[in-house]
Amino acid sequence: MNTKRLALRFKPYALELKHAFTLAGSSRTTTPVMLTELEYEGVTGYGEASMPPYLGESYETVTRFLAALDLGQFSDPFQVDSILNYVDHTAAVNCAAKASVDIALHDLLGKLMGQPCYKMWAYDSALTPNTSFTIGIDSREVVRQKMKEAAPFKILKVKLGRDNDQAMIETIRELTDVPLCVDVNQGWHDRQAALDMIYWLEEKGVVFVEQPMPQTALDDMAWLTQHSPLPTIADEALQRLDDVKKAHGVYAGINIKLMKCTGMREARKMIKLAKALDLKVMIGCMTETSCAVSAAAQLSPRADWADLDGNLLIANDPFIGVQVVDGKVVLNDGPGIGVKPRYSFM
């Protein structure tokens, strides 16, 4: 009789942001996360659930979800579909909580096999893209300070959607001519005004526009995509695999985030479907530790763009993982997702 069993542990942790993170409709200085460990025969995989406010998850909801799981019923960690189907069907929501188990399981499997996830999937690490570095909405003075931190990056993501959009872009263009992408976080509501703004942004060296209009404005968004000189990327409008088909014909591409799609297994399926539908793919993140960012980075060789700077925006990262060198995502040869804890946090 096989007595080997999976054992799950978890602990809350608060991320401290280096700067206030301001979007079209909110601002914050911290992000709650739940750190997870999945152990099998003395080998430990690490995971994480990041809980920015708009996801609707909290320490309470994630704790309740994880505490209800009985992963001890599984004696073989390689039964990935059985394990993750069980986790997914435990509740209808809790996507970030599910991702924390998915990431820990993939990390564990990689360690048991002695290989990074990207090598297990036969991805070419040389194909990782440059990652953008995020410049949140702020005053000219603070934007200038953030630009100093962004100096090594080859592409910048600028948050827009308030009444100072052009001022944000003009301030940045005073300091650098690197390519920009913009994330409007559903902040524009008039499609003609949005199109006019996109033409102006194209002149300023912007390469794509993320979630320019509300996710419910499907007809306006499809019209905007049809007429836009720049690719439009779905973010808030896209969560899980079923949403990829819905994005086709409405957006030019999708932004996949592990915290929204339940983790690495589903993210890989989303990439495959998006490629089949000729949609551009971006791998993104929330404000996260190097744990979740390194997990997402394993998928980045299959992406057109990466926005994997969430760990660079925090002051208290408990992990060492994926690095950004001269603006490019650089995967290491560490097994699993390639992270090491700086200290014991359980």
| Paired strand residues for 134 | 157
State the Cα torsion 50-316-24-219 to the nearest 10°. -30
Distance CA 82, CA 93 (A): 18
What's the pTM value of the predicted model, to 2 decimals?
0.94
**Backbone phi, psi, residue 214, to 5°:** -55, 145
In the prediction, which pLDDT does 1 show?
47
Return phi, psi of residue 100, to 5°. Answer: -65, -30
**CATH superfamily ID and name for 119-341:** Enolase-like C-terminal domain (3.20.20.120)
Share of the chain above pLDDT 90, in %: 83
Q: Cβ(336)–Cβ(109) under 8 Å? A: yes
Q: Band of the pLDDT at 22, cuts 50, 70, 90?
A: low
Residue 169 in this model has a pLDDT that exceeds 90: yes
In sequence order, what are the beta bridge partners of 209? 182, 232
Q: Which residues pair with 15 in a beta bridge?
A: 31
Q: pLDDT for 91-127, tens place per residue?
A: 999 999 999 999 999 999 999 999 999 999 999 999 9
- In the chain, list all ranges with CATH 3.20.20.120: 119-341
pLDDT at 19: 76
The predicted structure's pLDDT at residue 4: 87
Higher pLDDT, 152 or 320: 320
Q: How would residue 338 be classed by pLDDT, with cut points 50, 70 and 90?
A: very high
pLDDT single digits (tens) 52-82: 887 899 999 999 999 999 999 999 999 999 9
Q: Is the pLDDT of residue 2 over 70?
A: no
SS3 130: strand
Portions of the chain given CATH number 3.30.390.10: 7-114
Arch. (CATH architecture) of 7-114: 2-Layer Sandwich (3.30)
Residue pLDDT, tens place only, 264-313 = 999 999 999 999 999 999 999 999 999 999 999 999 999 999 999 999 98
Question: Would you state the pLDDT for residue 137?
Answer: 72
State the chain's mean pLDDT as an integer. 94
Q: Which residue has the higher pLDDT, 86 or 143?
A: 86
